[in-house]
Amino acid sequence: MITVHHLNNSRSQRILWMLEELGVAYEVKRYQRQPSMQAPQELRNVHPLGKSPVITDGDKVLAESGAILEYLSETYGEGKLTPAAGTPERLQYTYFMHYAEGSLMPLLFMKLVFDRIPSRVPFFMRPVARAISGGADKTLLAPQIGNHFMFLEGELSRREWFAGPDFTAADIQMSFPLEAASARAPAIRGMPRLKGFLDRIHSRPAYKRALEKGGAYDYAK
């Protein structure tokens, strides 16, 4: 039996969703973030980095969202949620499986860090912190994030899903950064293709079941 080591408000929600889409039996072991937002020590006992998602499947321990999604697809998918090898859709699939965490999510994480700096320093330093944070957002982060949003909006203007006409694991992988972006950079809600993508994934029965299994989820965390 697969065990999903599920940290609240984390990327592991995608793994629950993937398993629900595939109809694979699994169990959930829950972990709660500490006040520092870090994972508890118990999760480090499963994987040394103490990050989520992590799954155990027999004697296998797997971490990293993309690696887990690909493992589940290859091991249990029977051809579902992965385009056929050698097709244009497979190339798009591979790109977005890596793009989500390799290109988009680091920018969104940097924005979150800079946005929080003013509230994390002593009161007398906050004007300086706000100036630094605002400058970084205006000159560095906002332009790059906006460029990524325009790129993704354009991609979805050419096809319904990120890899092609069919829903795949690449869409599951892309869900977390786009949900985070919607919470942290509301401009995305004014982009009809991206908003439509979020509306479509949120209406999927497997997504709803995964949310019930994983519990309340705050995309802005």
Q: Residue 97: which of 175, 206, 210, 203 has the closest Cα?
A: 175
Report, in this order, helix, strand and coil percent for the chain, each rounded to 5.
Answer: 60, 10, 30
Q: Residue 81: which of 24, 26, 160, 163 has the closest Cα?
A: 163
Nearest-angstrom CA–CA distance, 153 and 37: 32
Residue 186: both structure tokens together: 């509301």
The position carrying tokens 């493992």 is 71
Q: pLDDT tens, 148-194?
A: 999 999 999 999 999 999 999 999 999 999 998 887 666 777 899 99
Answer with the residue of higher pLDDT: 39 or 56. Answer: 56
- pLDDT at position 221: 46
Q: What is the pTM of this model?
A: 0.88
Q: Please, are residues 35 and 59 in contact by the beta-carbon 8 Å criterion? A: no
Nearest-angstrom CA–CA distance, 3 and 193: 35
Q: Please, are residues 11 and 104 in contact by the beta-carbon 8 Å criterion? A: no
Q: pLDDT tens, 79-126?
A: 899 999 999 999 999 999 999 999 999 888 767 665 666 566 566 556
